[in-house]
């Protein structure tokens, strides 16, 4: 990415924002900054002026003039802060809440009209792109709870796409790997025993952030763990541990004796997870796959021993 890329995006997005407020009715009779102040006050019942100034990065004199205008108009009340008598607490009056509600309703209607121009199949991609920009540029959002669930329509395709994209980006693997993942997923989709085979999707904030599969192996009484993946933004949160733990618990519960998996030595984070769950390395062999020279590894977990 270059400086020119960022400036071009800024010009484009500024145009989008301008189009949203075509005719300048969205914030009337307030300015954009005044509307931001009303919005922030509507989010918290009691807010100190100093916190409001810091949160919106406003000049103290400028904010004071806005608050004076709001107080004269009956939109806010000011008094001593409960946490520090030297500070001033600000809160909306009933009239102020009504004004903030009207602005919020206009904003919702305007953005809703914009989204109506976006094809339904593109909306999740747009939302993901927005989240990515905020995360990469340092907008720290509260971490959403991660839940493990069964796959929904479209999730199996997501497994193929994300495996291909992430391994290409992080390890330089070519489309041979995508073909392998596609075959594994297709075999599961076309013919699997729901009592003995499962897929788990890790979800956070309404979107998939990880996956893993448990399928029958050729050897009797043996299950195979496949396609463990955790999105970069969800790493460090124990998602991989939970996914592997789900496979181990399921395999033991339905009566498998052994749980096996094949991986490569470059996947160090995944190997640490397997080792923590009691898997042991039983064999390794160099090979040329996915456009790279790799060392493949076979790992095994004796479910009878680990379950005692």
- Structurally, the chain folds into a number of domains equal to 2
Pick 120 or 140 by higher pLDDT: 120
151 and 297 in a common domain: yes
pLDDT band at 91 (very low <50, low <70, confident <90, very high): confident
Out of 66, 101, 117, pick the residue that ends a domain: 117
The answer to whether residue 96 is domain-embedded is yes
- The pLDDT value recorded for residue 308 is 42
Residue 206 structure tokens: 């309404």
Q: What is the CATH number of the domain that holds 272?
A: 3.40.630.30
Query: For residue 130, is it within any domain?
Result: no
Average pLDDT score over residue span 131-145: 71
Average pLDDT in the 96-121 region?
81
Side-chain-side CA neighbours of residue 182 (13 Å):
8
**Domain presence at residue 40:** yes
> Is the distance from CB of 229 to CB of 212 less than 8 angstroms?
yes
* pLDDT exceeds cutoff 90 at 205: no
Tokens representing 108?
A: 């919702």
Within a domain: 137: no
Measured CA to CA, the distance from residue 301 to residue 261 in angstroms comes to 9
Compute the distance between CA of residue 98 and CA of residue 75 in angstroms, rounded to an integer.
Answer: 9
What is the domain extent for residue 160? 146-306
pTM of the full predicted structure? 0.57
Statement: residue 246 has pLDDT above 90:
yes
Rounded mean pLDDT, 52-80: 83
Q: Is residue 138 part of a domain?
A: no
Evaluate whether residue 17 is within a structural domain.
Answer: yes
Number of Cβ within 10 Å of residue 209's Cβ equals 21
pLDDT, average across residues 272-292: 94
């Amino acid at each position: 990415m270059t400086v020119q890329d960022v400036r071009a995006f800024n010009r484009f997005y500024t145009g989008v924002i301008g189009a949203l407020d075509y005719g300048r009715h969205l914030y009337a009779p307030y300015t954009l900054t005044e509307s931001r102040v009303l919005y922030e006050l509507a989010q918290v019942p009691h807010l100190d002026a100093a916190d409001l100034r810091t949160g919106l990065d406003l000049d103290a004199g400028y904010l004071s003039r806005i608050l004076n205008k709001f107080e004269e108009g009956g939109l806010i009340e000011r008094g001593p802060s409960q946490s520090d008598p030297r500070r001033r607490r600000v809160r909306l009056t009933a009239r102020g809440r009504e004004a903030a509600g009207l602005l919020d309703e206009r904003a919702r209607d305007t953005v809703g009209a914009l989204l109506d121009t976006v094809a339904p199949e593109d909306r999740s991609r747009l939302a993901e792109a927005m989240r990515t920009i905020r995360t990469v540029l340092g907008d720290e959002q509260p971490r959403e709870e991660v839940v493990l669930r069964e796959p929904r329509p479209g999730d199996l395709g997501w497994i193929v796409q994300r495996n291909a994209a992430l391994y290409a980006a992080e390890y330089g693997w070519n489309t041979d790997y995508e073909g392998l993942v596609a075959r594994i997923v297709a075999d599961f989709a076309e013919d699997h025993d729901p009592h003995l085979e499962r897929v788990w999707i890790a979800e956070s904030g309404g979107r998939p952030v990880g996956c893993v599969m448990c399928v029958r192996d050729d050897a009797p009484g043996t299950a195979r763990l496949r396609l463990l993946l955790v999105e970069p933004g969800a790493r460090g949160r124990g998602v991989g541990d939970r996914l592997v733990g789900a496979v181990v618990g399921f395999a033991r519960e339905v009566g498998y004796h052994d749980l096996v998996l094949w991986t490569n030595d470059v996947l160090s984070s995944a190997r640490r997870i397997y080792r923590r769950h009691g898997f042991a390395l039983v064999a390794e062999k160099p090979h040329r796959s996915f456009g790279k020279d790799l060392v493949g590894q076979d790992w095994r977990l004796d479910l009878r021993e680990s379950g005692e």
